[in-house]
Amino acid sequence: MSEETPEKGKKTTSSGGAMEVVEEARVGGSQAGRTANLALLALSRAARSFLLYDPSNDAIRRFIEDLRLKFTQAVEALGCLDLEVRPFELALAGEIVYLERDRERSLAFRMYRDGVRRLTFREGVEWDEILRLLEVLSVRYTGVRQNEDDIVTLLWKAGFEHVDVDAVEGFVPDEEEEREGEGTRSIDRSAAGVHVPADWDLPARRLDERAAVAWKDVGESERERLRDEEASHNLPANAERAARELLRVITDSGDPTRAEDVWSFVFEVRDFLLSENQIGHLTALVRAIREFFPSGNERAAEIVASFADKRALAKIMHSTPKTTMAPPPELIELLDLLPQQRIERLIDVLGEERSEASRRLTRQLLERYAPEQPDYVIARMREAEAGVACDLLRALARALPEKALDAAIHLADHPDLAVAHEAMLRFEKAPHDARISRVLARLAASPHQEARWRALELIGARKEHGAFGPIVKLAEERQFDVTSMEEAARVGRTLATLSSRGSTALFRQWLRPKGLVGRLVETAAHRFLEWSAISGLEQLPGEEPEELIRQAAEKMHGDMRAHCLGALVRRRHRG
């Protein structure tokens, strides 16, 4: 098989007949030119390798590794690569650093054909941006889809931070047809009522008066301002401005452009701004639509609502940095402009978001808007999953504490412990309420130990005296875990907190000497009551409780005696 050198830009084949990717002509006279040339050759080879190899082939990995090495060297050596795109060449500061005249293989031709005129890699360009550029170029080489976007669109969608693209748009002849399915549709400008001169696309006519050509020096600041106008990082602002201008055209009674001709572009701008998390520009566009269209315009109202629907809000929340502690003012302004179904959509987003940062921001927004529909929030709370119910109760508690307390009373018996715990948190600083007393008394008999302990703690902290009798009844009817001495201690301490005199008499009864059968068979239930009594007496002041503990210690043995002696020691330490 014949082989030609890579400098001639020809394809070569191996002995097995498989095509290999070969370099285009090596060019560049200066050191900077040669460095840039090597990087661009590596980029072109890597992009075209997807034509010849399966994506999992080791050859592609070698091309990508070579691209990483060459581009890193070029960026470190040159800092900024400002490439002028010509039909078959790429030039750096006027020096040709890439050349390939084969239209099918030329990287420059593919970019130039799609409208790219300048490609600038600014200082700080990162490897992941080079990989995104490689993805764009490889798509255009392989032609995966016949209706794939051109390079300019793909480059703008890639969202580069350190890569700028300058591009132009071409003209489409009137007679060119666009295919729709199996049929065709011709482009007819006259249908839109736009009349242009017959020679509008011909060279300008010669004028009789000619001015002398003179050089005008443009300062660097002015050139920088002009370049900045079309830089890719200004694309969100430019897109919003273009949409505003089109909206102004719609409202011009002298212009034949219809609203339906523009809405598709507005949708495109909306989706682009959402993908870029440009909430400020998104809000400005909503204000423009509301400004140009009266409130009774149903189509405009429908479009405005789509700017903060469930999908849009989920995108905004998901794109918010994890370090953000409060909703951005632009997002609040956007939601203030769009009150329709606002709370419903926020709750829907809360049900789907798993990021703690996103959930925190959503809760804060619900705190702001919950007073508008508190009953709806409570209704959704009762039917929501545990995590969402907790978040809604927390948000409502900050916005409307009284409403949250009513909801907590109904949710305290929730089968999910997380919801029950969140509900009981609302009882800590709540004023005295007979409903809370009844709920806590019920929770003291909960089948869940954690709920029982929390209920006992709140009963004691709130001095719910009405719960004294129900707790005694639960203990004597063995409603607690009689094998848990920790629970017995909690019961005793709670009863002592509620009533000093009543609990002393009760504990004396629980410690009363057992009969003959009781001495022979000490049941777990009686042991529970004795342990509770000693734990309660330990908390009570005075000589009588101490004397009862001492008497019990003399009659008991084992760990029960140790419990009595420990209670005496702890009382003395507390004075």
Domain range summary for the chain, segments of one domain joined by +:
6-169, 443-575
Extract long-range pairs of 471-477: CB within 8 Å, 24+ residues apart. Answer: 471/441, 471/444, 471/495, 471/498, 472/506, 474/444, 474/445, 475/528, 475/529, 475/532, 476/529
Q: Which segments in the chain show pLDDT lower than 50? A: 1-20, 144-146, 170-194, 516-521
What does the pLDDT read at residue 299?
Answer: 79
The Cα–Cα gap between 244 and 285 comes to: 7
Q: For residues 139 and 154, is the Cβ–Cβ distance under 8 A?
A: yes
Stretch (H or E) spanning 120: strand 116-121
Backbone angles phi, psi at 37, to 5 degrees: -60, -45
Distances, alpha carbon 572 to alpha carbons 79, 411, 497, 564, in Å: 78, 43, 19, 13
Give the β-pairing of 177-180 and 163-167. Answer: unpaired
Distances, alpha carbon 399 to alpha carbons 351, 362, 366, 424, 488, in Å: 20, 14, 8, 18, 39
Q: For residues 532 and 510, is the Cβ–Cβ distance under 8 A?
A: yes
By residue count, the chain amounts to 575
Q: For residues 94 and 32, is the Cβ–Cβ distance under 8 A?
A: no
The token pair at 77 is 């050596």
What does the pLDDT read at residue 193?
Answer: 45
Backbone angles phi, psi at 154, to 5 degrees: -65, -40
Q: From the CA atom positions of the chain, what is the Rg in Å? A: 39
Distances, alpha carbon 36 to alpha carbons 96, 265, 431, in Å: 10, 38, 75
Stretch (H or E) spanning 274: helix 260-275
What does the pLDDT read at residue 120?
Answer: 92
Q: For residues 132 and 162, is the Cβ–Cβ distance under 8 A?
A: no
pTM over 0.75: no
Q: How many CA atoms lie within 13 A of 296 on its CB side?
A: 0
What does the pLDDT read at residue 175?
Answer: 39
Neighbours of 367 (CB within 10 A): 17
Bridge partners, residue 177, by sequence: 186
Q: What is the pLDDT of residues 103-127, one digit of tens each?
A: 888 888 888 888 889 999 988 888 8
Q: Which residues contact 331 (CB under 8 A, 6 or more apart)?
A: 279, 316, 365
The token pair at 55 is 């994506």
Backbone angles phi, psi at 98, to 5 degrees: -155, 135
The b-or-e profile of 484-504 (16+ CB within 10 A means b, else e) is: bbebbbbbbbbbbbbeeeebb
Q: Is 397 exposed, middle or buried (0-12, 13-18, 19+ CB in 10 A)?
A: buried
Residue type at position 532: S
Stretch (H or E) spanning 97: strand 95-99
The three-class DSSP label of residue 183 is: strand
The Cα–Cα gap between 467 and 457 comes to: 12
Backbone angles phi, psi at 122, to 5 degrees: -80, 165
What does the pLDDT read at residue 197?
Answer: 63
The b-or-e profile of 240-255 (16+ CB within 10 A means b, else e) is: bbebbebbebbeeeee
Backbone angles phi, psi at 74, to 5 degrees: -65, -45
DSSP assignment string, 439-487? HHHHHTT-SSHHHHHHHHHHHHHTT-GGGHHHHHHHHHTT-S-TT-HHH
Q: Give the residue carrying structure tokens 């009150």.
A: 339
Q: For residues 204 and 135, is the Cβ–Cβ distance under 8 A?
A: no
Residue type at position 92: L
